Each structure stands twice: as structure tokens, then as C-alpha cells.
Amino acid sequence: MNFNNDSIAGSQTIIDPVDIRGIDHVRFIVGNARQSAYFYRNAFGFDVVAYAGLETKMREEAGYVLRQGDITFVLISPLRSSHPDYARLLKHGDGVKDVALEVENVSAAYEHCLTQGAISITPPTYLEDDQGVYEFASIQTYGDTIHSFVNRDRYHGIFSPGFKPIDPARYQTGTRKPAGLQEIDHVVGNVEEGKMNEWVQYYQKILGFSQLVSFDDQDISTEYSALMSKVVQNGTGRVKFPINEPAKGKRKSQIDEYLDFYGGPGVQHIALLTPDIITTVRSLRANDVSFLRVPKTYYDQLESRVGTIAEDIKTIAELGILVDRDEEGYMLQIFTKPVQDRPTLFFEIIQRHGSKSFGKGNFKALFEAIEREQALRGTL
Ligand code: FE2
């Protein structure tokens, strides 16, 4: 048990029923892991640290482990159509399968979730090699997405059994340009209309999360479309999962577009924290990462809206970075375009100066920018 008394304002003591240390890794199923690894390395600045595949006696799939700061991405591709994830690839395209959580005790986490009604994907499993024992178990969440509980306290290898350190000859040293990304700030799920509250309750019941904040269709609407969102987080506040659902509007919501092309609920975006968004975005832009653009007029009222900020407004405007302020401070954020041809998964780059918000003041400008992209795709 993890007794936290610093997670919520006031003196209330929160007891996390599942001892989550943080997000361990995000596991993607992709059509061509070798090429995706190249993209995340050369565009986003990740270091490719480990590989699993035919050469490491992994017969059914190929995998790459990528790391930047405390962020770990695992990219997996089935090697044959008989692989169980091959069907998911046909249905969803490239996307996130698993938001894996590092826990103190895998069996205890899994058993707790099952007694609260979670659906099991994999019971507690011990994978062993000459580097030790890697423990994990998995439960179902929205759509075909899962949460694995992971513990590698007794494992000393590079990632998990089957993975070997990447062959240094594979990548030329000095060719990777780290972008300064530090950790995962939040992971957002899109669910069907009318399902958001069910999933909020699911996280409350199964993992003991609490609801941090809620946005209704008045907060998140443009002339054409709307969505609703609620954010749940664990007791320490280290794990934050916003959940979106579409709301009725004149045109098709970006959430409907996602659900249509992903073939159901799934992870919409992953927000990556940087201590220096200007350097990070400069570097990502230089690597050809495509970002959403808000109109230049957004910056005309910026200073009167957010007050004085440490960053140079001209530079912020040049790079297309958005700013929002609340009682606790301010935050800077920018969103990439989808990272595959289906308009599904994208990334957010975020820097926080005290603010724990999600950029409510930017929603309108942002969603209008998304709608312009939707109009180009003929999906608005
Ligand atoms: Fe976000």
C-alpha cells in the first residue's frame, strides 16, 4: 500500500489501492517496426536501445525499445499473419496497444483489479533469462487497449527477456539529435459518445484514480463540432489519463473522425514533457515533424491573455507554440499532426511553469486548427 498525503490540496490522506510508480512504457503495434524506429529516432530524437527479433530468437515478432529521458516506447511488428496482433493491425493501423504501468507488486495489482471487475488479458507472468526475472500481468481498458503491470526489480537486462542491446553498428554514432523530451505528462483516450463517464468510473473503481478535472461541450466547442473530456489521475498525480467523447455539433467531431479511422476507442495522443519547449520544437521542426498551426491572430492577444512569460513571444509565435495560464502558473503546448496516414494518434509537446492544466484557453484555437485539417481530409 502506498500512503500519500501530498496529492490533493488539504490534509486528506489518499490510499492508492494499486501501488503505481509511474508509466513504465507505451507499447505500439505498427506495420513496420524497423521503419517506425527510424522515424521516432530521427524525427523525435529517441535513442534505439534494444531489439528483439529473429536474430535474438524471437520467432513471432520484431521489437524495438526506444528511450529519451524517462520515456520508453516499444514498437512491435508481427512477423507473420498468424500473429494474434496481426488482426488488430488490419483494424486499427499503427497505434498504441498498451500503456504499461510500473507497480510495486504485479500480482497484488492484478488481483485487486480483478476483484473490482477488470477483465484479464494476461495473468501474472514471470519471464526469465540469464538477466533475472521480469514480471508482468495485463488488464483490458477502452477498446482493444490494455494496461500491463510491470515490475523489473529482479531483472537486470536491457528491457525484458527476448530483447538484446541494439547492435551498435546499426546506427551511426552522432546521427541522433535528442530533442530534450523528459517524461510522459498524460495519455489521452478517445471513447464513444456516452461512454466517457463509464470509463472514468472504471479507473476510479479498478485503479482507485480520482477525477481531476472535467470539460463539457461548452468548454470544448467551435462553430462546428464539440467534445467532452474528463481527466483521471492516480494518488500521486504521476499518471494522468484524460478521456474524451464526441458531443453533438453541426459537423463531425474530431473524436468521431478518430473512432471511424481507428475502428473504435483507443489512444488519441501522448503528451511529452520538456523543460525547454523552444529548443525541443526547434529541433523537431528541423527534423520535419509536422505541427498544427493556429492563425497568426492568436498571438495578437496573447500577452493580454496570459501576462508576462519568460519566453520570447516572437519566438513562440514563429514556432507556433500555444500558451495558457491558470491560478498556479502557465504552460506551453503544441500538437503534432497525426503520425500515420490514418487521422488517429498524434503527440503533444508540453512545458509547465507551475500550471497543472491541459490548456483550456487554447481549446478553441486548437480545435479550429484541427477542423481545418479535417476539412482538407473531407472528414468534417
Ligand atoms: Fe493533451
Q: How many CA atoms lie within 13 A of 257 on its CB side?
A: 25
100 and 212 in a single domain? The answer is: no
Asked if the structure places residue 173 within a domain, the reply is no
232, 214 contact by CB (below 8 A): no
**Does residue 361 register a pLDDT over 60?**
yes
State the distance from the centre of ligand 1 to the C-alpha of 296, rounded, in angstroms: 22
285 and 330 in a single domain? The answer is: yes
Distance of CA 215 to the CA centre of its chain: 19
Asked if the structure places residue 142 within a domain, the reply is yes
State the distance from the centre of ligand 1 to the C-alpha of 87, rounded, in angstroms: 29
218 and 361 in a single domain? The answer is: yes
Looking at the structure of the chain, the number of domains it has is 2
329 and 217 in a single domain? The answer is: yes
User: pLDDT tens digit string along 191-215?
Assistant: 999 999 999 999 999 999 999 888 8
State the distance from the centre of ligand 1 to the C-alpha of 81, rounded, in angstroms: 34
State the distance from the centre of ligand 1 to the C-alpha of 330, rounded, in angstroms: 15
State the distance from the centre of ligand 1 to the C-alpha of 66, rounded, in angstroms: 21
How far apart are alpha carbons 41 and 260 in whole angstroms? 29
How far apart are alpha carbons 198 and 204 in whole angstroms? 10
State the distance from the centre of ligand 1 to the C-alpha of 10, rounded, in angstroms: 26
197 and 152 in a single domain? The answer is: no
Q: Does this model's pTM top 0.85?
A: yes
Q: Identify the domain containing residue 41 by its residue range.
A: 13-165
CATH code, domain with 70 = 3.10.180.10
135, 126 contact by CB (below 8 A): yes
State the distance from the centre of ligand 1 to the C-alpha of 102, rounded, in angstroms: 21
Average pLDDT over residues 261-282: 98
217 and 320 in a single domain? The answer is: yes
Of 136, 165, 194, the one marking the end of a domain is: 165
Q: Provide the pLDDT for residue 11.
A: 41
268 and 349 in a single domain? The answer is: yes
pLDDT band, residue 33 (cuts 50/70/90): very high
State the cell numbers at 253.
Answer: 467531431
**Does residue 231 register a pLDDT over 70?**
yes
**Does residue 6 register a pLDDT over 50?**
no
241 and 151 in a single domain? The answer is: no
CA-nearest of 166, 351, 376 to 290 is: 376
152 and 197 in a single domain? The answer is: no
State the distance from the centre of ligand 1 to the C-alpha of 186, rounded, in angstroms: 7
**Does residue 8 register a pLDDT over 60?**
no
For residue 230, list its beta bridge partners: 214, 243
Q: Provide the pLDDT for residue 310.
A: 95
State the distance from the centre of ligand 1 to the C-alpha of 207, rounded, in angstroms: 21
197 and 320 in a single domain? The answer is: yes
138 and 20 in a single domain? The answer is: yes
State the distance from the centre of ligand 1 to the C-alpha of 359, rounded, in angstroms: 8
State the distance from the centre of ligand 1 to the C-alpha of 189, rounded, in angstroms: 10
pLDDT band, residue 146 (cuts 50/70/90): very high
State the distance from the centre of ligand 1 to the C-alpha of 47, rounded, in angstroms: 24
State the distance from the centre of ligand 1 to the C-alpha of 270, rounded, in angstroms: 7
Average pLDDT over residues 220-249: 89
Asked if the structure places residue 291 within a domain, the reply is yes
Asked if the structure places residue 141 within a domain, the reply is yes
